[in-house]
Amino acid sequence: MADNSDNKPKSSNSAAPDWTVPAAGTEQVKRLKPAPLTPQPSSPASTTKPKPKTVSFELRIPSHLSKRAEVVLIVIAVFVVGFGGGWVGAAVRHYDGVTDVTENKVELKGEATVISDIAKNVGQSVVSVDVTTQTQSSNSNDTDPLDSLFGLGGGSSGTQTEEDAGTGMILNSSGLIMTNRHVVPDGTTSVSVTLSDGTVYNNVKVVGRTPDSSSIDVAFLQIQNTNGHKLVPVSLGDSGKVNVGDEVVAIGNALGQYQNTVTSGIISGYGRSVQASSSDGSSTENLDDLFQTDAAINEGNSGGPLVNIDGQVIGMNTAVASDSQNIGFSIPINDLTGLIQSVEQTGQLQVPYLGVLFIPITSDVVSQYNLSVNQGAYIPTVSQNNGQATVVSGSPADQAGVQPGDVITQVDGTAINQSTSLTSILDKHRVGDNVSLTIVRNGKTMNINVTLGATPSS
C-alpha cells in the first residue's frame, strides 16, 4: 500500500498476548482481458414468401449404363447433401456466434452498470480520513553528518509533525467510522474526515485501535457532532460466503487526494498471511486470514471497503504487495463483526483476549516441532521460545488450564486452518464470551472452556 502511514504488506513479535509467528506467503494471480466484442448486425425483416412450385421429371438411362449411372448419381447426391449440410451448419454456427456476442455485450453493459451503481450507493458511505501525527525526531543540524550515517547519535531531539490520509467507512448514522489501525497510528494528534459530498468534520475522536501486536489492523473513529447531517452507513455482507473468482469493487481515497476512487477485480485467494511493514521499514506486523484481490488498492485506500456485486462490504482494504502488480489484501468483514458490536454497544473498543503465543501450523511447522496434527495453532514450549512464556500468567488461557505444547484445533467447533486463524475466530467474539477450545495434548484430544477477557492496554 503506501502513503506515509498507509503502506502495508506489515507484524510484530512483541510480548503482547495472542500474537502470532508468521508462517505463510502470498500468491500472484493475473487476470486476462476479454476479447474485443463485435457488434451484432441488424436482423432482416420477416417476410412471407410464396411456396416454390414442384417440378417432376423422369430421367431415362439406357439399360447397359444404368448401373454405372446409378452409382454416379448416388455420389453426386451424397456430395450435394454433404455440402449443403456443411453450409447450413456453418450458417447456424455463425448465427449462434452473433447471438453469443449480443449476450456478451448485454452482460458487459450490465456489469458496468452494477459497478456504477455500487460507486454511487456505497460511495456516500466512504470518507477520507486526514490525520496529523507528532513523532520524536533527532535534530542533526549541529552534528557531524557521519555521526548520523554510522548511528553514532548526537544532536538534540525534537518534534516532527506529519500529515497523512487514508480511508474509512461509516458504520451507523451517529457517525461511527471504521478504518485501519495504521491510518491513525500512535502519536495521532488530530483527525478530520471528509464525506463524499465535501462536508468536513474536524476534531474526530479516536475511539480505539487494536494493539500493534494484533493481526487485526483496525481502528474506530467517532464524529462528535453530525450537525444534523444525514449519514448513510455501509451495508455489511457475509465474508464467509465469498469464493475465489467472485467479483469485487474497492473504494478509497487514492494517493490521499483522489476521493472515492473505484477499482474492480476478483477475489484471487483467501486465508493469506503476510508480514507488512511501513514505507520506511520502521515498523512491521503480522496480518492473518486476509482476502487476496487483484482490484487495485492504492496509497490512501487503507481502511476503505471491499464490496461484492450486491453492494455489501465483505472486507476492509489493508495492504498491497509493493514488488508486484495488483496483489492487494483485505480483512474479511466477519473477522471484525465482534469488534464492531463491542464499540456500538459500549462505546469502547474491547479486544477479546486469550493470552497465548501461537504458531499457525503448516507442513514445515509440523516437521520442525514433530507435531501429530497438521492443522491448528501450536503453542510452543518455553524452551522453544527462547525461555519466554507462551501462556501469559493469569490470563484466561492460563486460568482455564491451557499449557505450552498444546495445539488448539477448534474454537466452538470451528476448525483452525490456513484459511481461518485462531485470531480471526476470537475476534468474532466479544469480551466475556465463553468459548470451547478443542486441544490436542500429548496425542490426546480434550475440550477446555475459556471465558475471554479484554486485551490489556500494555
For residue 331, give the amino acid letter: I
In a shared domain, residues 276 and 301: yes
Residue 320: inside a domain, yes or no?
yes
In a shared domain, residues 327 and 355: no
In a shared domain, residues 244 and 287: yes
CATH number for the domain that contains residue 330: 2.40.10.120
Quickly state the pLDDT bin for 94 (edges 50, 70, 90).
very low
Domain count for the chain, please give it: 3
pTM value is: 0.69
User: What does the pLDDT read at residue 285?
Assistant: 75
Q: If DSSP states are collapsed to H, E and C, what string results for the chain?
A: CCECCECCCCCCCCCCCCEECCCCCCCCCCCCCCCCCCCCCCCCCCCCCCCCCCCCCCCCCCHHHHHHHHHHHHHHHHHHHHHHHHHHHHHHHHHHHHHHHHHHHHHHHHHHHHHHHHHHHHHCCEEEEEEEEEEEEEECCCCCHHHHHCCCCCCEEEEEEEEEEEEEEECCCCCEEEECHHHCCCCEEEEEEECCCCCEECCCEEEEECCCCCCCCCEEEECCCCCCCCCCCCCECCHHHCCCCCEEEEEEEECCCEEEEEEEEEEEEEEEEEEEECCCCCCEEEEEEEEEECCCCCCCCCCCEEEECCCCEEEEEEEECCCCCCCEEEEEHHHCHHHHHHHHHHCCCCCEECCEEEEECCHHHHHHHCCCCCCCEECCCCHHHCCCCCECCCCHHHHHCCCCCCEEEEECCEECECCECHHHHHCCCCCCCEEEEEEEECCEEEEEEEECEECCCC
Domain of 412, in residue numbers:
350-454
H/E stretch holding 145 reads helix 145-149
In a shared domain, residues 211 and 339: yes
Helix (H, G, I), strand (E, B) or coil at 254: strand
> Which residues are the active-site residues?
182, 217, 302
Nearest to 260 by CA among 226, 234, 279, 239: 234
Which grid coordinates belong to 360?
499457525
Residue 241: inside a domain, yes or no?
yes
In a shared domain, residues 237 and 107: no
In a shared domain, residues 338 and 360: no
Strands 176-179 and 205-209: unpaired
C-alpha of 150 from chain center: 41
**Which range, 81-90, 143-152, 172-181, has the best average confidence (pLDDT)?**
172-181
Residue 204: inside a domain, yes or no?
yes
Helix runs in 377-446, H state only: 396-400, 422-426
Which grid coordinates belong to 38?
463485435
Domain end residue (candidates: 285, 317, 345): 345
Domain end residue (candidates: 311, 345, 379): 345
Query: How many angstroms separate the CA atoms of 309 and 313, rounded?
Result: 10
Quickly state the pLDDT bin for 455 (edges 50, 70, 90).
confident
Residue 337: inside a domain, yes or no?
yes
In a shared domain, residues 334 and 297: yes
Provide the β-strand partners of residue 449. Answer: 436
Query: How many angstroms separate the CA atoms of 408 and 195, rounded?
Result: 44
User: What does the pLDDT read at residue 156?
Assistant: 52
Write the pLDDT tens digit of every residue in 213-256: 788 899 999 999 999 899 999 999 999 899 999 999 999 886 55
Strands 357-360 and 19-20: parallel
Residue 103: inside a domain, yes or no?
yes
Domain end residue (candidates: 294, 325, 345): 345
Q: Are 99 and 37 in contact (CB under 8 A)?
A: no
**Range from 22-31, 71-80, 289-298 carrying the lowest mean pLDDT:** 22-31
In a shared domain, residues 116 and 128: no
In a shared domain, residues 213 and 332: yes
Write the pLDDT tens digit of every residue in 287-312: 888 999 999 888 888 999 999 999 99
Q: Report the 10 Å Cβ neighbour count for 167.
A: 31
Residue 9: inside a domain, yes or no?
yes
Quickly state the pLDDT bin for 139 (edges 50, 70, 90).
low
Give yes or no for residue 138 having a pLDDT over 60: no
Residue 306: inside a domain, yes or no?
yes
Give yes or no for residue 201 having a pLDDT over 80: yes
Q: Report the 10 Å Cβ neighbour count for 175.
A: 21
Residue 48: inside a domain, yes or no?
no
Average pLDDT over every residue of 189-217: 91
CATH number for the domain that contains residue 425: 2.30.42.10
Give yes or no for residue 89 having a pLDDT over 80: no
In a shared domain, residues 296 and 441: no
In a shared domain, residues 186 and 207: yes
In a shared domain, residues 450 and 305: no
